[in-house]
Amino acid sequence: MQFSHFDLNLLRSLDALLAERNVTRASERLFVTQQAMSGALRRLREHFENELLVRVGRQMELTPLARSLALPVRDALLKVETALNTQPSFDPRTAKGTVRVAMSDYTSLVLLPRLMRLLAAEAPNVIVRLEAYSDLSFRRLDSGDLDFCVAVSDRNLYSDYLPSGEIRAQGLFHDDFVCVVDRLYPVAKKMSLKTYRSAQHNVVQFGRGIRTLVERSWEQTGFHAHIAATAPSFATLIFMLPGTRLVATAQRRLAKALAPPLRLRVLECPIGLEPLREDLTWHARNDEDPTHIYLRRAFRKASERLDTKH
């Protein structure tokens, strides 16, 4: 079948079928009848001369050809959607829409309040939909399920979850690390290297294949910490401290925000740690979109206000 004879509406059906791997769920995703989706699958099979979806046990699986089509089809649809939604100009005062962002709890606590205040003043009708940064975040940027991801700039920390070559990045802000302890922790005004080495530490663990800068800095300096507790987020790391002898090595801005109400002490870290640098990342397909350009500027403005009261 020649391209001129191909029904481009089938691309949406193909995208849904490849994503859901199920005719019923694909029809629900596109709000069409199951009969219509079955008909679309039949026509797609005829065009590609391939089954695309085959039954394996109780589930449907993609054929090798179908797997190879998933990203190109999704990308093609997203480019068309971007082109159709692009406006020649962007007026934040009247603009409506939703921006989907992934970031860590640390970034949410230190950056998000300033971004929200800025958008409330400049773009009051823009909705921010936030989700936790995870090993799927860069993949979700690629697939168009996210607009932005705020992540550590050092890509070597991501192991198997590296962003693709289509992901763009701009630096947002940096931070360093301090020690946070309970107010009754038996140490003077300064944390000595000896005390730090013998202490019980708690650390953040995001899962297999993702390391933190603290963990890697420890490895690079040959420091083997006594890990007494692990936490799923940076804020939890600090909330675990009251009444314990744990030492948390945390970002300075996060420590300054959470330590006072918890009556914790913040001490300079006696071991050399890499500085933290956070990037704003997005997909190249949105480079020239006026809405994205405005939002990238908004993120940059918010980051510039991190050390101010407003």
pLDDT level of residue 257 (50, 70, 90 thresholds): very high
Q: Do domains 3-72 and 97-166+278-304 have the same CATH topology?
A: no
Spell out the residues 6+ positions from residue 102 whose beta carbon is closer than 8 angstroms to its own: 130, 131, 132, 133, 134, 137, 140, 146, 148, 149, 150, 151
- Report the chain's mean pLDDT, rounded to a whole number: 87
Domain ranges of the chain: 3-72, 97-166+278-304, 177-274
pLDDT level of residue 85 (50, 70, 90 thresholds): low
> Architecture of 97-166+278-304 per CATH?
3-Layer(aba) Sandwich (3.40)
pLDDT at residue 268 tops 80: yes
Mean pLDDT of 124-148: 89
pLDDT level of residue 297 (50, 70, 90 thresholds): very high
**Residue 122's pLDDT is what?**
95
Residue that wins the pLDDT comparison between 100 and 77: 100
Task: Tell which residue, 102, 110, 106, 103, has the closest CA to residue 306.
Answer: 110
CB atoms within 10 A of CB 265: 18
What percentage of residues in the chain have a pLDDT greater than 70?
92
**Residue 160's pLDDT is what?**
64
CATH of domain 177-274: 3.40.190.10
- Mention the CATH class of domain 3-72: mainly alpha
**Residue 196's pLDDT is what?**
94
The predicted-structure confidence for 217-255, as pLDDT tens digits, reads as follows: 898 888 999 999 999 999 999 999 999 999 999 999 999
pLDDT level of residue 1 (50, 70, 90 thresholds): very low
- Most confidently modeled range among 58-72, 148-162, 174-188: 174-188
For the ranges 70-74, 143-147, 276-280, 289-293, the lowest mean pLDDT is seen at 70-74
The predicted-structure confidence for 158-212, as pLDDT tens digits, reads as follows: 766 677 888 999 999 999 999 999 999 988 788 999 999 999 999 998 766 677 8
**Residue 187's pLDDT is what?**
84
The pair phi, psi for residue 265, each rounded to 5°, is: -105, 140
